[in-house]
């Protein structure tokens, strides 16, 4: 029996505007309320585009017990950083979640381990829970560099956490404030999910590696989510794996019907 409460999350990327978002949560609420097996033994989070993070959409999402989070945050609170989002302002807006280090940010917008780590630190010190994304490309997997890449990515995570814990903003910090999302790049948006064995193996490796760096208590309580072509058909099998504590869903989170099935998986 896993003691870690699952986190079921959707990343809308640059999809669905405010009108569509409002409708989405109305439909999701209907779909969830019609299902007698519904249970709230998981946490639900959607990361929509920033224009959907205001209080009205927070309110309709809240009716489905869904929290909203930002897809990225900057490492400074304010300043001349055109198009970036302030973690502190998001917190003031009533939000509790952000995502950092997504592979699309890394591959298309020059995000590095260093910047992902800085964003993580700022999010935590601003009182947000931050989902830290990592994962290898196909080339890195096939050339046998996968574990080196994971270790490099997780080093920036560990360094950010060490700075956070040493600061005076860390009062009630626990691993649930900084879950990890393992998203192999070759499985994102490709329809090619990692097998349950591949995903479980990666998650076990991540937990063991973090246990060595941050201690077993931290690692045992840490939610590690899987992302990459998760659908209503494969979600349940992934979630049954001992080290998979949730999912981060892209394409299949865009339709209330399919996301509802995943929430009920
Ligand atoms: P897909 O589910 O569309 O593969 O996207 C996964 C993802 O990138 C979630 O962050």
Q: Is 101 in the pocket of ligand 1 (CB under 6 A)?
A: no
Q: Is 227 in the pocket of ligand 1 (CB under 6 A)?
A: yes
pTM: 0.96
pLDDT of 37 reads 60
* pLDDT higher than threshold 60 for residue 1: no
Inside any domain, residue 35? yes
Domain count, the chain: 1
> How far is the centre of ligand 1, averaged over its atoms, from the C-alpha of 11 (Å)?
7
CATH number, position 75 = 3.20.20.70
> Which of 231, 249, 255 is the best mutation target for the ligand 1 pocket, counting ligand atoms within 8 Å of the beta carbon and taking the most?
249
Inside any domain, residue 96? yes
Inside any domain, residue 69? yes
- Residues 121-150: what's their mean pLDDT? 97
Q: How confident is the model at residue 29 (pLDDT cuts 50, 70, 90)?
A: very high
* pLDDT higher than threshold 80 for residue 60: yes
Q: How confident is the model at residue 171 (pLDDT cuts 50, 70, 90)?
A: confident
pLDDT of 193 reads 82
- Residues 33-42: what's their mean pLDDT? 72
pLDDT of 190 reads 85
- Report pLDDT digits (tens) over 197-230: 999 999 999 999 999 999 999 999 999 999 999 9
> How far is the centre of ligand 1, averaged over its atoms, from the C-alpha of 255 (Å)?
13
Inside any domain, residue 68? yes
Inside any domain, residue 93? yes
DSSP string, the chain: ---SPPEEEEE-TT---HHHHHHHHHHHHHHHHT-TT---SSEEEEE--GGG-SHHHHHHHHTTTEEEEES---SSSSSS-TT---HHHHHHTT--EEEE--HHHHHHS---HHHHHHHHHHHHHTT-EEEEEE---HHHHHTT-HHHHHHHHHHHHHHHHHHHHHSTT-TT--GGGS-EEE--GGGTTSS-PPPHHHHHHHHHHHHHHHHHHH-HHHHHH--EEEESS--TTTHHHHHHSTT--EEEESGGGSSHHHHHHHHT-
Inside any domain, residue 2? no
Percentage, residues of the chain above pLDDT 70? 97
- Residues 176-205: what's their mean pLDDT? 94
Inside any domain, residue 1? no
Q: Is 251 in the pocket of ligand 1 (CB under 6 A)?
A: yes
Q: What is the mean pLDDT of the chain?
A: 95
Inside any domain, residue 94? yes
> Which of 227, 234, 246 is the best mutation target for the ligand 1 pocket, counting ligand atoms within 8 Å of the beta carbon and taking the most?
227
Residue-number span of the structural domain to which 146 is assigned: 7-263
């Amino acid at each position: 029996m896993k003691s870690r409460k699952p986190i079921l999350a959707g990343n809308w990327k640059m999809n669905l505007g405010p009108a569509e978002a409002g409708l989405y949560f109305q439909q999701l609420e209907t779909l969830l309320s019609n299902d007698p097996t519904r249970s709230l033994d998981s946490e639900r989070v959607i990361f929509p585009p920033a224009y959907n993070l205001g209080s009205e959409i927070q309110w309709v999402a809240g009716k489905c017990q869904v929290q909203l989070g930002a897809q990225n945050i900057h490492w400074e609170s304010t300043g001349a950083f055109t198009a970036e989002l302030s973690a502190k302002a998001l917190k003031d807006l009533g939000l509790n979640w952000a995502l950092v280090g997504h592979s699309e940010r890394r591959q298309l917008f020059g995000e590095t381990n260093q910047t992902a780590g800085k964003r993580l630190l700022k999010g935590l010190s601003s009182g947000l829970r931050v989902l830290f994304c990592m994962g290898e490309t196909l080339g890195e997997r096939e050339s046998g560099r996968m574990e080196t890449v994971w270790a490099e990515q997780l080093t920036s995570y560990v360094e950010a956490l060490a700075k956070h814990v040493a600061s005076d903003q860390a009062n009630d910090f626990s691993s649930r404030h900084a879950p990890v999302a393992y998203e192999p790049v070759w499985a994102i948006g490709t329809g090619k999910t990692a097998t349950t064995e591949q995903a479980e193996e990666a998650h076990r490796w991540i937990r063991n590696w973090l246990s060595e760096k941050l201690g077993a208590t931290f690692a045992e309580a840490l939610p590690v989510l899987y992302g990459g072509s998760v659908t209503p058909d494969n979600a349940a099998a992934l979630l049954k794996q001992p080290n998979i504590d949730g999912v981060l869903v892209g394409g299949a989170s865009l339709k209330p019907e399919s996301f509802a099935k995943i929430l009920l998986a």
